[in-house]
Structure 1
Amino acid sequence: MFEVPAEKIAFYEENGFVQLEDVLSEKEINELSAYLDEVMAIEGEHTQSVEKDSDYFKILNSKMNTWRDSAGMALYVLSPKLADIARQFSGSTGVRLFHDQAFWKMPGDSKPTPWHQDATYFPMHESNVLTLWLPMHDVDDVNGCLSFIPGSHKEGKLTNVDFLHPIDLLELTKESGTNLRRPVNVPLKRGSFTLHHGLTFHYAHANKSDKPRRVLTIVYMPENATFNSKSNHELTQGSSLQEGEPLKGRLFPVLASASQSD
């Protein structure tokens, strides 16, 4: 397995995000990129997609749970190597998959993704979820890289943000007297990725290039995460889960645990 350097974990704990370079080989990223293109081009039985004529499409064209419609995608979404990297940052004994999501930020009439916290959208009480953000190509502030507010994960859970009619999270923190540091852009080279905490404020620049910005995200949650019945997340709508019950089962498998890594 990939042993994360102690200084990377310390950086993550202080700032709420971290960048890891050259984790995937050229062969792996070529393979994953091809699988992702394939799954984005089909009408999957299990994925949830964005309508192309919707306003949201200008912000993000996305598909959720690509692993359920593509064995190739499952190789990477369920990857023990990637999951164990997330576990080392999580502070948990193990991590489960919550979901994967493919995000294409389309060229042309592209719009930025506003500042938000991932954990406010998810149906679990725990906030120490992690999002792995893996681009299929180099990204920068021209084609839609991420920006983070260092230390913002220490602000606690605020509110989810409507991407079409966003509120200003930074204004909310000013009202509480918090002086957050300036945003940090994180350009990435192909084969590298970021991990960020579920409460870290982050933002994606508009895509000003002439090609789609193509990214796979994988969301990991603690293996003992519990259901928050106030959420209306698509993956738990209509389920028989009760408030406070463990989020587990075939859709939320444990992908890495400390005992497996010993």
Structure 2
Amino acid sequence: MTYHVTDEQIAFYHNQGFVQLDNVLTPAQIEELTYYLNDVMLDQALPDGGASDDFYRILNSRMNTWKDSAGMAKYSLSPYLADIALKLAQTDGIRFFHDQAFWKMPGDSKPTPWHQDATYFPMKEPDVLTMWIPLDDVDENNGCLSFVPNSHRVGKLTNVDFVNPIDIFELAREANPHTEMRQPVIVPLHKGSCTVHHGLTFHYAYANKTDKPRRVLTIVYMSARATFNGRSNHELTRELGLQDGEPLQGRLFPVLAARV
């Protein structure tokens, strides 16, 4: 089974820095994935990274669920999903970096501030792709994403602390006073659809104002030729003991799709 990514969608991704893809997973697959993700998120024995209560009000998360759940690995390491990233990236190989499950908790939720994903990652190359798969219908009431078109061309800025965020738009103006930002685009989705965005694209998630959690699986992909930047303290690079410039490869970063 393959997903048909059109030439128009590929061009849109490269021009705008994100793209919406509909009906990527079937209702049965979403039901199965939801079961696995709920099981992982409710396992209190799993580490949560020492998240503070303030962070928890923004996001309840679990990273690398594929290492703890064969069910999650079925989706996080899916060649079918990775092939979509391969087609969008227009590269010769796509390597898995990590997955992350997110619950934006109901009630007293907070927005996820504007940020770039690539600033948190340990690769030199910024052209990573994040696939954002909601397991619930999402809109502005429960935490859908908003993207700034063409913002991936601004370049890599700096990490944004989710609890005490800095203004990423001001950072962009400081980096280049002539930077002109376009109006954000809000992307509501039905479960089964997804977005894919470039690692440098500015994006934001609304607060969850409903009485149910907003559940999402994200999968981050990188080029098969990605290399370590020598600075990150990401848990997987610590585990491997990588040195600056070494390839991000091996059992923790498998190639999931390739042009052969």
Looking at structure 2, the residues matched to 40 and 164 of structure 1 have their Cα atoms a distance apart, in angstroms, of: 21
What TM-score do you get using the length of structure 2 for normalisation? 0.95
Matched, 1:111 2:125: no
Alpha-carbon distance between aligned partners in 2 of 1:165 and 1:122, rounded to the nearest angstrom: 19
**By how many angstroms is 1:109 displaced?**
1.4
Farther-moved stretch of structure 1 (96-105 vs 84-93): 84-93
Aligned AA (1:23): V
Cα offset for 1:52?
A: 6.7
SS at match of 2:97: strand
Match of 1:137 in 2: 136
SS of equivalent to 2:142? coil
Q: Secondary structure at the match of 1:49?
A: coil
C-alpha separation in 2, matches of 1:155 and 1:65:
29
1:104-141 deviation digits (Å, cap 9, x = unpaired): 00012111111000000000001010000000010000
Match of 2:73 in 1: 74
2:97 corresponding residue in structure 1: 98
Residue 7 of structure 1 pairs with residue 8 of structure 2: yes
Indicate the SS of the match to 2:240: coil
On the 8 A contact 1:50/1:57 being kept in 2, the answer is no
Aligned to 1:33: 34
1:193-220 deviations in Å (ceiling 9; x for gaps): 0000000000000111111100000000
- Partner Cα distance (1:48, 1:122) in 2: 19
Q: Give 1:173 deviation, angstroms.
A: 2.3
Structure 1 CA distance, aligned partners of 2:69 and 2:221? 19
Superposed displacement of residue 172, structure 1:
2.1
Q: Give the corresponding residue for 2:254.
A: 253
State the identity as a percent.
63
Residue 191, structure 1, aligned to residue 192, structure 2: yes
8 A Cα contact 1:145 1:188, kept in partner: yes
Contact 1:15 1:151 in 2 (8 A): yes
| Structure 1 outlier segments of 4+, above 4 Å | 50-53
Partner of 1:219: 220
1:171 is matched by which residue type in structure 2?
E
Is 1:232 aligned to residue 233 of structure 2? yes
Q: Give the AA of the match of 2:208.
A: N
Tell me if structure 1 keeps the 8 A contact 2:82–2:257: yes
What's 2:153 paired with? 154
Contact 1:51 1:57 in 2 (8 A): no
Q: What 5-or-longer segments of structure 2 have no aligned partner?
A: none
* CA distance, structure 1, for counterparts of residue 49 and residue 226 of structure 2: 27
Q: Which residue of 2 aligns with 1:181?
A: 182
Q: How many residues align?
A: 257
Unaligned runs of 5+ in 1: none
Secondary structure of 1:237's aligned partner? helix
- The one-character-per-residue Cα deviations of 1:132-154 (angstroms, maximum 9, x if unpaired) are 00000100000000000000000
- Structure 1 Cα separation of the partners of residues 43 and 197 of structure 2: 29
C-alpha contact (below 8 Å) 2:157/2:172 kept by paired residues: no
Q: Which moved more, 1:203-212 or 1:238-247?
A: 238-247
Distance 1:160 1:240 in 2: 23
Q: Counterpart of 1:101 in 2: which secondary structure?
A: strand
Alpha carbons of structure 1 residues 38 and 124: separation in structure 2 relative to 1, 3 Å: same
Instruction: Tell me, in whole angstroms, the C-alpha distance in 2 between the residues paired with 1:22 and 1:206.
Output: 25
Q: Structure 1's 164 and 90: CA in aligned 2 closer, same or farther, altered over 3 A?
A: same
**Cα contact 1:64–1:102 (8 A) shared by 2:** yes
Q: CA deviation at 1:3?
A: 2.6
State the partner residue of 1:206. 207
Match of 2:120 in 1: 121
Equivalent AA in structure 2 for residue 73 of structure 1: M
